[in-house]
């Protein structure tokens, strides 16, 4: 693929669209963000994704705004547009005979089903994991909850910000211990979607060996604990409780946001070699007392910040970034999201998708973060054709026709 921006395609995935999950069918029973994000990732990989929505209202995120775009009598939430590309929409009342029959027909053909209902809801509708596997033993079922599928708090509803607090992430984020802050995107939802998609791909691979599907479980709680990284082992191994400390790394110095004459820049001095290069660039002694090792610098963080910001005080941000680049010091600016989406580097990485929305016309969406290359063919094998998020129940007729004939649109 030579283009950096993909173009629109028919909603049912044509064979030439490509991607490693091409030919797989995903039934997306989820709503809001965690499950839809997982299903969208599978769609980005080439799977055909059929999104099941509530009649009349659809996914909750269709009403999450502003901002809304499009006609006043049918406004489209940009929130919904963010997590439902490469999907078809079918509205089903799962409490009705028609809804249950149609879902059963889909499950018979599906490779994957994604759901994020509260524990027990699908069982009451007649679609427990055992029931779904009796319909299709090869089915991989991704189930995402808030606090986990079992345990003393499994009954609790899971919302991203609540889990950011409960899982400790907010205690690590903010200017200091008295200023807990949420991450600026629903990171628990997004991470559980990513972990879920990762689990599904592993289960599909194992199915090649066993011939059987299985249940993949994750939760918002698990996804956040899964990214505690060195902050987690600081607790479990060192017996310490980490706290928020603003825009500076807890274990490396200098590594963070530093003021200069007309703003600020970020630097990452992650080795003693870089520290020596950094200090010599500004005519300073890297072996100064209390600054010679990373452990010293972490212990004397406030002094390090003073030294760095004193050196930066005579520079504006752009000349300073150029000076740091010449010295081989990792550095960067803090961009607004508007600046990010105008950045040529984004388009070069396929991170912008131009698609044709049935109501809005041409729109640009943030693109998928994975690319694939076929070394034998010497070409990119990433999914090439992408589709806009669907209107509610847009594909009722085509999906029902396919179910009745067994043929693609």
| 358 and 215 housed in the same domain | yes
The model's pTM:
0.90
CATH code of the domain covering residue 82: 3.40.50.10540
Q: Which of 299, 329, 359 is where one domain is finished?
A: 329
Residue 311, classed as helix, strand or coil, is: helix
Bridge partners of residue 385, in order along the sequence: 7
Instruction: State the Rg of the chain over Cα.
Output: 25
Report if residue 243 sits inside a domain.
no
Q: Quick one: 194 and 303 in the same domain?
A: no
Domain shared by 84 and 157, yes or no: yes
| Same structural domain, 73 and 128 | yes
| 203 and 161 inside one domain | yes
21 and 77 in a single domain? The answer is yes
Q: In the chain, how many domains are there? A: 2
**Domain-embedded: residue 81:** yes
Q: Select from 41, 35, 44 the least CA-distant residue to 13.
A: 44
In this structure, are 20 and 149 located in the same domain? yes
Same domain, 123 and 57: yes
Per-residue pLDDT of the chain (409 residues; tens, 9 = 90+): 333 343 333 345 655 578 899 999 999 999 999 999 999 999 999 999 999 999 999 999 999 999 999 999 999 999 999 999 999 999 999 999 999 999 999 999 999 999 999 888 899 999 999 999 999 999 999 999 999 999 999 999 899 999 999 999 999 999 999 999 999 999 999 999 999 999 999 999 999 999 999 999 999 999 999 999 999 999 999 999 999 999 999 999 999 999 999 999 999 999 999 999 999 999 999 999 999 999 999 999 999 999 999 999 999 999 999 999 999 999 999 999 999 999 999 999 999 999 999 999 999 999 999 999 888 888 888 888 899 999 999 999 999 999 998 654 4
Same domain, 162 and 108: yes
| Residue 43 and residue 142 in one domain | yes
Residue at 236 is within a domain? no
Enumerate the active-site residues. Answer: 189
The answer to whether position 386 is within a domain reads yes
Residue 265: beta bridge partners? 258
Using CA atoms, how far residue 326 sits from 133, 313, 319, in Å, is: 60, 18, 11
Question: Domain limits at 280?
Answer: 270-329
Nearest CA to 37 out of 401, 389, 346, 400 is that of 389
Same domain, 284 and 362: no
- How many Cα atoms occupy the beta-carbon half-sphere of 317 within 13 Å? 14
Residue 177 sits in the same domain as residue 314: no
């Amino acid at each position: 693929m030579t283009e950096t921006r993909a173009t629109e395609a028919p909603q049912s995935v044509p064979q030439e669209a490509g991607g490693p999950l091409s030919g797989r069918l995903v039934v997306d029973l989820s709503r809001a963000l965690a499950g839809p994000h997982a299903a969208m990732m599978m769609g980005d990989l080439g799977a055909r994704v059929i999104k099941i929505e509530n009649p009349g209202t659809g996914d909750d995120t269709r009403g999450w705004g502003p901002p809304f775009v499009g006609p006043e009598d049918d406004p489209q939430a940009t929130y919904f547009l963010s997590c439902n590309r490469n999907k078809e929409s079918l509205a089903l009342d799962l409490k009705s005979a028609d809804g249950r029959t149609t879902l059963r027909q889909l499950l018979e053909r599906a490779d994957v089903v994604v759901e994020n209902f509260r524990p027990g809801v699908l069982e009451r509708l007649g679609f427990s994991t055992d029931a779904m596997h009796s319909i299709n033993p090869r089915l991989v079922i991704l189930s995402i909850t808030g606090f986990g599928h079992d345990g003393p708090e499994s009954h609790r509803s899971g919302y991203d910000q609540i889990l950011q607090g409960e899982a400790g992430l907010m205690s690590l984020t903010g200017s200091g211990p008295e200023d807990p802050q949420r991450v600026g995107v629903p990171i628990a939802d997004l991470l559980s979607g990513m972990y879920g998609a990762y689990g599904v791909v592993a289960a599909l691979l194992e199915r090649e060996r066993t011939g059987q599907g299985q249940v993949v479980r994750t939760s918002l709680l698990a996804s956040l604990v899964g990214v505690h990284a060195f902050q987690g082992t600081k607790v479990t191994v060192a017996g310490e409780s980490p706290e928020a400390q603003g825009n500076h790394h807890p274990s490396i110095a200098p590594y963070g946001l530093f003021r200069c004459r007309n703003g600020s820049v970020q630097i990452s001095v992650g080795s003693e070699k870089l520290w020596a290069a950094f200090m010599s660039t500004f005519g300073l002694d890297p072996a100064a007392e209390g600054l010679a090792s990373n452990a010293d610098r972490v212990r004397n963080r406030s002094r390090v910040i003073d030294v760095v910001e004193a050196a930066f005080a005579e520079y504006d941000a752009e000349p300073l970034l150029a000076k740091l680049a010449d010295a081989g010091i990792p550095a960067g600016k803090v961009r607004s999201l508007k600046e990010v989406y105008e950045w040529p580097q984004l388009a070069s990485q396929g991170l912008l998708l131009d698609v044709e929305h049935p109501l809005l016309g041409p729109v640009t969406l943030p693109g998928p973060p994975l690319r694939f290359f076929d070394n034998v063919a010497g070409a990119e094998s990433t999914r090439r054709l992408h589709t806009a998020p669907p209107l509610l129940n847009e594909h009722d007729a085509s999906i029902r026709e396919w179910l009745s004939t067994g043929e693609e649109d």
